[in-house]
Chains A and B, each alone.
Chain A
Amino acid sequence: MTDVDVRDDAHTPDQKSAPSKASLSELAAEVPGPHKAPVTWRTRSRSVLKHGGLILFGLVMLYPLLWMLSSSFKPNDLIFREPGLIPSDIDLGNYTDGWTALLHPFHHYLFNSAVIVVGSLVGNLVSCSMAAYAFARLQFRGRNLWFAIMLMSIMLPIHVIIVPQYILFSELSWINTFLPLIVPKLLATDAFFIFLMVQFFRGIPTELDEAARLDGCGHIRIYWRIMLPLSVPALATTAIFTFIWTWNDFFSQLIFLTRPDMYTVPIALRTFIDSTGESSWGSLFAMSIVSLVPIFLVFLFGQKYLVKGIATTGIK
């Protein structure tokens, strides 16, 4: 159960030869016989019903998000009067108001978030892949023990270490800098990704690096020239999840960044209600939409890796 096939077209050969890929009663129904016509009609109506239900359910699921999108274009007094999705009047005022509603213009917070994201991305990609190489390819004393410790550290709640971390970082005068949020990533503390890459590295044939060793390659070159180029899917999954988690992260940014000029997007959004009052839902929604756009884009372009990543490892 270590690597799960999640391709959409993952049909086993015997399925292909089966008359229908659809539900089981349909399979039985496809046996040729005199009553074929009414059965097809039944199958079709069942399929229409199923698709109708799924679409309806999907719409209900996404309705709040679509509604927020539509409301972000509505003047404030309209937001609460019309629950419909099509704004009667498109108004970008919420975006221009929202952008400047806080102490700093919104791009200031976007920039802060981006700095932390880029730092975390570099950190996780480099440090986790290095550690994964050691666990997947090197033999050293206590490897299984360290590996087990690494696995357990994945499940450690951050709350157990956050207080001493705060003390440590404040001793170093790192509070209200991005260092407490980036430096741990450079030290591979997101052990989850180590595990993800170990799984992937184990799937790469050892013959490749053995051949390279015979040609006189050292471990650094094997890691850099063979393992990394072959691990693009794992690296992409790591990058995507690092991006989303860091962009959404609230708890640690709330703790380490207390000065308004260091605020990131989530922290800034939270202060919105305090600084503008409950009356400005429109501009709050507009900035919320702005904050979700990067995640949505990553989702759109990285879906393949996202789905594969979740299915093999179970991350959120």
Chain B
Amino acid sequence: MAVVTELRKSASGKGKDPARKSAAHRGDAKAALFFLGPWFLGLIVITLGPMIASGYLSFTDYSLLEAPHWIGLDNYTRMFDDPRLLNSLKVTFTYVIVSVPLQLAAALALAMLLDRGLRGLAFYRSVFYLPSLLGGSVAVALLWRQVFGAEGLVNQFLALFGIQGQGWVSHPDYALGTLIILNVWTFGAPMVIFLAGLRQIPQMYYEAAEIDGAGRWRKFRNITVPLLTPIIFFNLILQLINAFQTFTQAAVISGGTGGPADSTMVYTLYLYQKGFASLDMGYASAMAWLLLAIVAGMTAVNFLASKYWVFYND
């Protein structure tokens, strides 16, 4: 939550006054040059420089083999006529809009169950958190491919009830669903954040509510949720940004193709294919900037909307 708090602070100018010189800080500038040197070099060479370069490349036709050739807005206009790109946007938005709320709901539900004083809390927390650490790995993506395969674990289980399953990962209607389940499966990380947030709510609020005769639901609705909104907001931003950039699972589960029938062709996978398989690097750069615009726009909208539902106690 801290990143969000800090950004809010610096946006509203609440941060500390910068160059208030005092005797104790003489010579700081020189030292800062030393301590920030590596970071600054990285910022210029690895981050900002390439960012500007990719902005430039997005207006060119570039295949790595010959010099970039200026084509103006062509890459951007081309995107709107590219059915595969429009499809990849649809796939990605579906993935984000379905999986993030489910993941956060699971995280909040489990955090509520694991709250204060439950015996074995640390154990449960570990069990539910483990998938978050492993979920990003190629190994788990390969496992998923098997679990939801034609002969996979899910179908073996369904067969116990006499249900004839199908190859979920190889069916265009269901393949994206397996990716969504994989993302929901990693609810442990937001759950741990929720747990920490729940600890911050003073117990006396609940006690006061009880005296007034509030039931479980009323307490959840009128105490827990309002006081937890900053954490919900933080988790939402974080998971939205993550989900938009999902790559590994889609790439591995579909064998790099985004199939079947482009049903798992998430945006970043298409970007990778354009940039690094077809070497259409100008187009890939334009796609990257569209991604940045979407992620930034989504974050900005969330920040604006947060005024109406997030309750800051500061």
A residues whose Cβ falls under 8 Å from a Cβ of B:
1-6, 8, 10-12, 14-15, 18, 21-22, 24-25, 27-28, 50-51, 54, 58, 61-65, 67-68, 80, 83, 126-128, 130-131, 133-134, 138-144, 146-168, 170, 184, 186-189, 191, 194-195, 199, 210, 213, 218-220, 223, 244, 247-248, 250-251, 254-255, 265-267, 269-270, 272-273, 281, 284-285, 288-289, 291-292, 295-296, 299, 303, 306-307, 310-316
Contacts and interface: CB of A to CB of B under 8 A. Distances in A.
**B: interface residue count bin:** 35 or more
B38 A143 contact: no
B162 interface: no
B173 interface: no
Contacts of A303: 126
B133 interface: yes
Pick from B2, B29, B120, B202 the residue with the most CB of A within 10 Å.
B2
B216 A151 contact: no
B116 interface: yes
Contacts of A134: 31-32, 35-36
Contacts, number: 336
A295 B127 contact: no
Nearest to B19: A141
Contact of A307 (B19, B125, B144): B125
Given A165-B50, A314-B1, A269 B24 contact: no
B271 A159 contact: yes
B147 A133 contact: no
Interface string B170-202: 000000000000000110010011011101101
Contacts of B261: none
Complex A-B, nearest 3 residue pairs according to Cβ-Cβ distance, in ascending order:
A187-B42, A21-B117, A311-B196
Interface in B146-160: 146-147, 151, 153, 156-157
B116 A11 contact: yes
Given A151-B6, A163-B57, A299-B130, A64 B138 contact: no
Given A157-B291, A159-B288, A186-B38, A195 B3 contact: yes
Interface in B277-300: 281, 284-285, 287-289, 291-292, 295, 299
Given A61-B127, A141-B29, A6 B202 contact: no
A138 B199 contact: no
Interface stretch (B74-82, B88-96, B235-243): B235-243
A313 B203 CA distance: 24
Nearest to A218: B31
B29 A149 contact: no
Contacts of A58: 124, 127-128
Interface in B58-76: 64
B54 A160 contact: yes
B256 to A, nearest CB: 8
B192 A311 contact: yes
Contacts of A247: 137
Contacts of B5: 1-2
B102 interface: no
A264 to B, nearest CB: 10
Contacts of B268: 159, 251
B260 interface: no
B139 A22 contact: no
A160 B48 CA distance: 10
A106 B291 CA distance: 36
A313 B63 CA distance: 40
Given A160-B288, A164-B49, A310 B193 contact: yes
A51 B120 contact: yes
A131 B136 contact: no
Contact of A15 (B132, B203, B272, B275): B203
Given A160-B51, A292-B137, A127 B195 contact: no
B251 A250 contact: yes
A162 B292 CA distance: 13
Given A12-B203, A61-B127, A61-B185, 7 more contacts: A18-B207, A27-B210, A130-B36, A153-B47, A187-B42, A191-B39, A251-B248
Contacts of B53: 164, 167
Contacts of B292: 156-157, 160
B15 A144 contact: yes
Contact of B133 (A161, A269, A299): A299
B143 interface: yes
Contacts of B46: 161, 165, 184, 187, 189
A235 B295 CA distance: 30
Contact of B134 (A11, A270, A295): A295
Contacts of B306: none
Given A4-B196, A164-B50, A316-B136, A219 B276 contact: no
B57 A164 contact: yes
Given A54-B113, A61-B185, A187-B45, A288 B1 contact: no
